[in-house]
C-alpha cells in the first residue's frame, strides 16, 4: 500500500504526466462540460439574435451601443473561430469522457459489487427492514424470485453468517449514453463531410424551355420544360411546379415534376424547387441572319436602376462583343408611378445595346421591342418572341446526409433509453434471526436524491411484503433538499 | 367546413372559461388556507393599538377537487377544439400562431393533468394554469383573421412532417412549462419549507421527469426539422434564427441535465437553469415576431 502511494506520488511529480493527467481530468470533468455547453449556448444565442431585430432595439434604446450592435450584425458567429473552437473542445471532451467512463460502466454492468455495509442501509434516504418467517436460504430464494419477476437481475454473496444480495434492472441502458454522445460527434462529422465533399448552388435559374448545366463535375444538365403555378385569392402563391428533364452527358436520364417539398434526386445530386419569376424568350441574329442568341432570360433577379418595380435581365453576346439590357413592364404600376418613365405595356420590352471590351462605344442604342416584331439596333436584329417564366432551383449534393441520419437515430434512441430505462439498484443484507428459523432482512436502493428511484423501491417492497405476508418497516429520512436548521413555515406569521 | 371552424372556436371559448376557473381554483388550493386577524387593544393611556396577523394552513380539499375538474374540462375542450380545427383543415392545425397556441394550451393542460395524476400533487397547477390562462389571453388578442383556416403556403405543404414536427415541439414546450412550475415551487419550498406543498425532493423529480420528456422531444423537433428542411430548402441545417433558437433551448436543458450529476448544483442551481430554460422556450416560441429567415411565417409578420 505504502509502495503504491509512493509510486502514485512519483507519477504526480513527473511534469509531463502531471500535465497529461490534468488535461485528461479537465476533459472528463462534468463541471467543465457544463461550462463548455453554457459557452456554446451563449454563442448560439448571440448568433440567433443576430438574425433578429433585437440588437437593433437595443441600439435604439441605448444609442451608445450602436457601434457594438453594428459589429454584432456583422459577426458571423456560426462560422467564427470561437464557435469552431468550442465545438472542437466539446468533441474532445465527449471522446475523452466516453473513454474514461466506459470501463466503470462496464464494471457496473458485468461485475457489480455485491457486498454492502449496514452503514449504507442505515444512512440511505429510504430503507426497509422486516423479519421474514422463513429460513435464510428460502428467504433469499423467494426474495430473488420476486425481484426477478420484476425484471431485476439478482446476485448474492455469503459474508460470514449474512447473505448480501444485489439486485438491478435496466443495466444495459447505461450503455445508451455512448450512442447519444457519439451522435453529437457524428453530426459534426456529417457537417464537415458535407461542406468538404458536397456542393450547394443556391441560385440555379432555368427559364422555361431552356437547359442549364449543373456543373461541379456532375456531367448533368437540366431542362425546364414547363412551369405551372396557382394562386390564392389573397395573391399568395398556392403552389408551383417545375417539369424538369435531366440529362447526363447529353442523354436523358430522368423526367420529373418537382415542388417545394418534393425534390428530384439523381445519384448524389438533388434539385430543389425554391422560387420562380418572370422570363422572356429572345431571338437575336446578326446582319447575315446568323443566330447569336435563341433562349430565355430570367427577369427579376435584377431590377431597373431607375425603377425598382421593373424587372430586368441581361443577354450576353460575347461572339459580337455586345450585351443587351432588357427591362420588362412595371409590375406594380400604382406604386411610385412617376418612376415608370418607360411606360411599357404588356407584350413590350425595353432593350438597350451596350458594346463590351476595351474599344466599346459609349453610344447606347435603345428602343422598345414589341412581341413578334424584330427590331434592328446597332447592327443586330432583336426579336422578343414571348413571355415565359423561370424557375429558381437549388442544386445540392451532400455526402454527409447518411452520417447525419445515423446520428439522428442514435441521438434520439440513446436519449429515450437513458431516460425511460433508468438503472435501478437495490442492496440487501439477510441475517438469520433466532432459533425459529426466521430471517432478518434490511434493504435500501441506490437512489440518492432520486424520488422516482425511491418510489420504485417502495413498490418493490410492497410486492415483497405480499410475497412474504410480512409487513416491512420503511424508514425515510427528511427531504434531502431541506437545509439543516430550516424549520417549517410558522402557522402564524 | 365553416361550421367546424366555428365549433372549434366555441370550444376554444369554453377552454378559456375552464382554464380561468381552473386557475382560480388552483391558486386557492396552492396558497392554502389564510385567515387574517385584526386585533385592537386599548392602552391605559386611552390609545388604541391595532395589530394584524395572518394564519396559514393546509388548503381546502374541495378547492383541489374543483381545480382538477376544471383542469380536465380545459384539457378536453381544448382537445376537441384542436380536433375540430384539424378536421376542418384536413391537417395538423399548426399553420399559424392561433392554431399553434391553441394546440399548446391543449397539450399543456393535458400534460399537467397527467403529471398531477401520476404524482398526486395539485399545487403545480397554480403556475401551469397561469401559463395556460396567459396563452388563452394571447389567443384572444390575435387578429380575428387568424381564426380562419387558410391553405398552407408551398413551404408548409408537407402534412405528415408538419404534423409530427410541430406536435413534438408542442409536447416539448408543454413539458418544459411543467418543469418550470416545478422549479418555481422547488425554490419556494427550499426557502419556506411549506408543510402543505410537495416535498422539494418530489418537485425536483417532477422537474427532471418533465425534462426527460421535453428534451428528447426537442431533439426530435430539431431532427425532424432538419429532415423537412432537407426536403424543402435543400439543406438540413441553415443556421436559421428559429433553428438556432431551438438549439439554444436544447443546450440550456443539456446544461440542466449535466448539472444534476454535479455536486453543489443539483437542487437550487438546477432549478434556476430550468427557469432560464423556460425563458428560452418563450424566446423560441415567440421568435416569429422578431426573427427573419426561413421560419418567417405564422401569420404574425
What is the bridge-based pairing of β-strands A162-169 and A424-433? antiparallel
For A480, which DSSP code? T
**Which residues, listed in sequence order, are joined to residue A393 by a DSSP beta bridge?**
A204, A273
Higher pLDDT residue, B39 or A451?
A: A451
Task: Give the strands of the sheet with A251-258, arranged side by side.
Answer: A211-213, A220-231, A237-248, A251-258
CB contact under 8 A, B219 and A411: yes
Determine the pLDDT at residue B298: 52
Question: Minimal CA–CA distance to A292: which of A377, A207, A224?
Answer: A377
Phi, psi values for residue B228, rounded to 5°:
-65, -45
Q: What is the pLDDT of residues B222-253, one digit of tens each?
A: 999 998 888 888 888 888 888 999 999 999 99
> In which region does residue A463 sit, left (phi positive, over 0), alpha (psi from -120 to 50) or beta (all else)?
alpha
Average pLDDT score over residue span B76-95: 90
A74-88, B176-190, B287-301: range with lowest mean pLDDT: B287-301
Return the percent helix, strand and coil in chain B, to nearest 5.
70, 5, 20
A268 touches chain B (CB under 8 A): no
CA-nearest residue of chain A to B223? Answer: A408
For B101, which DSSP code? H
Average pLDDT score over residue span A17-31: 87
Determine the pLDDT at residue A434: 64
Cβ neighbours of residue A353 closer than 8 Å, sequence gap 6 or more: A322, A323, A324, A364, A365, A366, A377, A378, A380, A382
Question: Which residues does chain B have within 8 Å of residue A40's beta carbon, measured at their own beta carbons?
Answer: 251
This prediction's pTM: 0.83
Residues A163, A152: Cα–Cα separation, whole Å: 18
**Which residues, listed in sequence order, are joined to residue A279 by a DSSP beta bridge?**
A298, A388
Question: Which residues does chain A have within 8 Å of residue B192's beta carbon, measured at their own beta carbons?
Answer: 489
Contact between residue B290 and residue A54 where contact means Cβ atoms under 8 Å apart: yes
pLDDT at A490 over 60: no
Residue with the three cell numbers 427591362: A327
* Helix, strand or coil, per DSSP, at residue A422: coil
How many angstroms separate the CA of residue B19 from the nearest CA in chain A?
A: 29
pLDDT at A389 over 90: no
pLDDT at B172 over 80: yes
Mean pLDDT of chain A: 87
Question: Which residues does chain A have within 8 Å of residue B258's beta carbon, measured at their own beta carbons?
Answer: 30, 33-34, 37
**Facing A34 at nearest CB: one of B55, B57, B259:** B259
pLDDT at B271 over 90: yes
Q: What is the pLDDT of residues A31-58, one digit of tens each?
A: 899 999 999 999 999 999 888 888 888 9
Q: What is the pLDDT of residues A313-372, one digit of tens each?
A: 889 888 888 889 999 988 888 888 888 888 888 888 999 998 887 777 777 888 899 998
Residues B244, B236: Cα–Cα separation, whole Å: 13
Determine the pLDDT at residue B95: 81
A270 touches chain B (CB under 8 A): yes
Determine the pLDDT at residue B158: 77
Average pLDDT score over residue span A78-88: 94
How many angstroms separate the CA of residue B206 from the nearest CA in chain A?
A: 9
- Band of the pLDDT at A487, cuts 50, 70, 90? very low
Q: What does the radius of gyration of chain B's CA atoms come to, in whole angstroms?
A: 22
A21 touches chain B (CB under 8 A): no
Determine the pLDDT at residue A480: 65
Question: Which residues does chain A have within 8 Å of residue B202's beta carbon, measured at their own beta carbons?
Answer: 451
Average pLDDT score over residue span A450-466: 93
Grid coordinates of B44 = 391605559
Question: Which residues does chain B have within 8 Å of residue A411's beta carbon, measured at their own beta carbons?
Answer: 219, 223
pLDDT at B299 over 60: no
- Which of B244, B271, B283 would you mutate first to test chain A, the one with the most A CBs within 10 A? B244
CB contact under 8 A, A237 and B200: no
Residue with the three cell numbers 411549506: B194
Mean pLDDT of chain B: 88
pLDDT at A236 over 60: yes
Average pLDDT score over residue span B89-96: 83
**Facing A41 at nearest CB: one of B55, B252, B259:** B252
B-proximal residues of A, 141-200, CB under 8 Å: 191, 200
For B95, which DSSP code? S
How many angstroms separate the CA of residue B272 from the nearest CA in chain A?
A: 14
Question: Minimal CA–CA distance to A443: which of A112, A131, A110, A109?
Answer: A131
**Facing A396 at nearest CB: one of B57, B227, B234:** B234
Residues A479, B200: Cα–Cα separation, whole Å: 7
Q: What is the pLDDT of residues A137-158, one digit of tens each?
A: 999 999 999 999 999 999 999 9
A11-15, A383-387, B177-181, B266-270: range with highest mean pLDDT: B177-181
CA-nearest residue of chain A to B56? Answer: A491
Determine the pLDDT at residue B264: 73
CB contact under 8 A, A51 and B192: no
Determine the pLDDT at residue A207: 87
- Band of the pLDDT at A260, cuts 50, 70, 90? confident
Residue with the three cell numbers 453530426: A187
Higher pLDDT residue, B29 or B278?
A: B278
- Which of A451, A453, A482, A490 would you mutate first to test chain B, the one with the most B CBs within 10 A? A451
Question: Minimal CA–CA distance to A183: which of A451, A428, A429, A409?
Answer: A409
Determine the pLDDT at residue B301: 45
Higher pLDDT residue, B1 or A159?
A: A159
- Band of the pLDDT at A462, cuts 50, 70, 90? very high
A481 touches chain B (CB under 8 A): yes
A196-210, B54-68, B128-142, B284-298: range with lowest mean pLDDT: B284-298
Question: Minimal CA–CA distance to B170: which of B73, B294, B78?
Answer: B78
Inter-chain CB pairs, A–B, below 8 Å: 167
- Band of the pLDDT at A479, cuts 50, 70, 90? low
- Band of the pLDDT at B293, cuts 50, 70, 90? low
Please give the helix or strand (H or E) that residue B265 lies within, else none: none
Average pLDDT score over residue span A16-44: 90
- ipTM score: 0.84
CB contact under 8 A, A259 and B255: no
Residue with the three cell numbers 418607360: A342
Instruction: Work out the number of other CB atoms within 10 angstroms of the CB of residue A379.
Output: 11
How many angstroms separate the CA of residue B278 from the nearest CA in chain A?
A: 14
State the greatest distance between any 2 C-alpha atoms of chain B, in Å, as a whole number. Answer: 88
Question: Which residues does chain A have within 8 Å of residue B157's beta carbon, measured at their own beta carbons?
Answer: 239, 259-261
**Which residues, listed in sequence order, are joined to residue A322 by a DSSP beta bridge?**
A317, A355
Q: What is the pLDDT of residues A261-274, one digit of tens each?
A: 889 999 889 999 98
A39 touches chain B (CB under 8 A): no
- Band of the pLDDT at A180, cuts 50, 70, 90? very high
Residues A67, A69: Cα–Cα separation, whole Å: 5
HSE of A198, CA atoms in CB hemisphere, 13 A: 22
Amino acid at each position: 500500500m505504502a509502495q503504491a502511494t509512493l509510486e502514485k506520488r512519483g507519477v504526480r511529480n513527473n511534469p509531463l504526466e502531471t500535465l497529461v493527467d490534468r488535461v485528461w481530468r479537465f476533459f472528463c470533468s462534468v463541471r467543465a462540460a457544463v461550462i463548455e455547453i453554457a459557452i456554446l449556448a451563449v454563442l448560439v444565442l448571440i448568433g440567433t439574435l443576430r438574425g433578429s431585430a433585437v440588437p437593433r432595439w437595443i441600439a435604439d434604446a441605448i444609442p451608445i451601443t450602436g457601434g457594438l450592435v453594428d459589429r454584432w450584425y456583422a459577426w458571423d458567429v456560426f462560422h467564427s473561430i470561437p464557435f469552431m473552437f468550442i465545438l472542437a473542445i466539446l468533441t474532445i471532451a465527449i471522446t475523452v469522457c466516453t473513454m474514461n467512463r466506459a470501463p466503470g460502466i462496464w464494471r457496473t454492468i458485468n461485475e457489480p459489487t455485491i457486498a454492502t455495509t449496514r452503514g449504507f442501509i442505515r444512512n440511505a434516504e429510504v430503507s426497509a427492514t422486516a423479519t421474514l418467517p422463513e429460513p435464510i436460504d428460502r428467504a433469499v430464494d423467494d426474495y430473488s424470485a420476486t425481484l426477478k419477476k420484476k425484471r431485476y437481475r439478482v446476485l448474492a454473496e455469503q459474508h460470514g453468517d449474512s447473505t448480501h444480495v444485489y439486485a438491478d434492472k435496466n443495466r444495459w441502458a447505461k450503455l445508451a449514453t455512448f450512442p447519444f454522445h457519439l451522435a453529437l460527434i457524428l453530426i459534426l462529422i456529417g457537417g464537415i463531410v458535407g461542406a468538404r465533399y458536397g456542393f450547394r448552388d443556391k441560385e440555379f435559374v432555368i427559364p422555361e424551355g431552356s437547359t442549364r448545366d449543373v456543373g461541379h463535375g456532375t456531367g448533368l444538365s437540366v431542362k425546364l420544360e414547363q412551369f405551372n403555378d396557382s394562386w390564392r385569392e389573397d395573391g399568395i402563391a398556392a403552389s408551383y411546379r417545375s417539369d424538369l428533364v435531366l440529362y447526363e452527358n447529353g442523354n436523358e436520364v430522368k423526367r420529373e415534376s418537382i415542388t417545394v417539398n418534393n425534390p428530384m434526386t439523381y445519384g448524389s445530386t438533388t434539385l430543389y424547387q425554391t422560387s420562380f419569376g418572370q422570363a422572356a424568350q429572345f431571338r437575336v441574329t446578326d446582319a447575315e441572319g446568323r443566330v447569336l442568341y435563341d433562349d430565355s432570360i430570367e427577369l427579376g433577379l435584377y431590377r431597373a436602376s431607375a425603377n425598382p418595380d421593373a424587372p430586368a435581365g441581361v443577354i450576353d453576346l460575347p461572339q459580337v462583343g455586345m450585351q443587351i439590357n432588357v427591362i420588362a413592364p412595371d409590375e406594380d404600376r400604382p406604386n411610385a408611378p412617376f418612376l415608370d418613365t418607360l411606360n411599357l405595356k404588356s407584350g413590350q420590352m425595353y432593350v438597350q445595346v451596350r458594346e463590351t471590351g476595351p474599344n466599346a462605344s459609349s453610344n447606347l442604342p435603345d428602343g422598345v421591342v414589341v412581341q413578334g416584331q424584330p427590331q434592328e439596333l446597332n447592327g443586330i436584329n432583336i426579336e422578343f418572341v414571348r413571355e415565359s417564366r423561370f424557375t429558381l432551383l437549388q442544386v445540392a449534393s451532400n455526402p454527409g446526409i447518411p452520417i447525419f441520419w445515423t446520428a439522428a437515430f442514435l441521438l434520439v434512441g440513446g436519449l429515450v433509453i437513458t431516460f425511460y430505462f433508468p438503472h435501478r439498484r437495490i442492496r440487501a443484507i439477510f441475517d438469520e434471526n433466532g432459533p425459529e428459523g426466521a430471517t432478518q432482512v434490511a434493504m435500501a436502493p441506490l437512489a440518492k436524491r432520486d424520488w422516482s428511484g425511491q418510489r420504485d423501491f417502495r413498490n418493490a417492497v410492497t410486492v415483497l411484503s405480499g410475497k412474504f405476508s410480512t409487513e416491512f418497516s420503511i424508514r425515510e429520512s427528511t427531504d434531502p433538499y431541506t437545509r439543516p436548521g430550516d424549520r417549517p413555515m410558522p402557522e402564524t406569521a | 367546413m365553416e361550421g367546424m371552424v366555428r365549433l372549434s372556436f366555441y370550444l376554444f371559448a369554453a377552454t378559456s372559461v375552464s382554464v380561468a376557473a381552473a386557475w382560480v381554483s388552483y391558486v386557492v388550493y396552492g396558497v392554502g388556507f389564510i385567515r387574517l386577524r385584526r386585533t385592537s387593544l386599548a392602552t391605559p393611556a386611552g390609545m388604541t393599538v391595532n395589530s394584524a396577523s395572518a394564519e396559514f394552513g393546509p388548503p381546502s380539499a374541495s378547492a383541489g377537487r374543483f381545480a382538477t375538474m376544471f383542469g380536465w374540462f380545459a384539457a378536453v375542450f381544448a382537445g376537441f377544439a384542436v380536433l375540430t380545427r384539424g378536421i376542418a383543415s384536413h391537417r395538423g392545425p399548426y399553420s399559424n400562431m392561433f392554431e399553434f397556441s391553441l394546440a399548446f394550451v391543449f397539450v399543456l393542460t393535458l400534460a399537467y393533468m397527467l403529471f398531477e395524476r401520476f404524482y398526486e400533487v395539485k399545487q403545480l397547477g397554480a403556475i401551469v394554469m397561469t401559463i395556460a390562462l396567459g396563452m388563452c389571453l394571447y389567443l384572444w388578442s390575435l387578429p380575428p383573421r387568424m381564426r380562419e383556416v387558410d391553405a398552407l403556403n408551398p413551404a408548409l405543404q408537407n402534412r405528415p412532417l408538419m404534423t409530427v414536427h410541430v406536435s413534438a415541439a408542442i409536447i416539448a414546450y408543454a413539458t418544459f412549462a411543467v418543469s418550470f412550475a416545478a422549479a418555481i415551487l422547488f425554490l419556494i419550498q427550499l426557502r419556506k419549507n411549506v408543510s402543505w406543498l410537495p416535498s422539494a425532493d418530489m418537485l425536483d423529480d417532477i422537474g427532471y421527469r418533465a425534462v426527460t420528456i421535453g428534451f428528447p422531444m426537442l431533439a426530435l423537433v430539431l431532427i425532424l426539422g432538419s429532415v423537412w428542411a432537407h426536403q424543402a430548402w435543400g439543406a438540413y441545417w441553415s443556421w436559421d434564427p428559429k433553428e438556432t433558437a431551438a438549439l439554444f433551448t436544447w443546450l440550456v436543458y443539456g446544461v440542466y441535465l449535466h448539472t444534476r450529476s454535479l455536486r453543489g448544483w443539483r437542487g437550487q442551481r438546477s432549478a434556476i437553469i430550468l427557469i432560464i430554460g423556460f425563458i428560452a422556450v418563450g424566446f423560441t416560441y415567440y421568435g416569429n415576431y422578431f426573427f427573419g429567415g426561413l421560419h418567417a411565417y405564422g401569420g404574425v409578420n
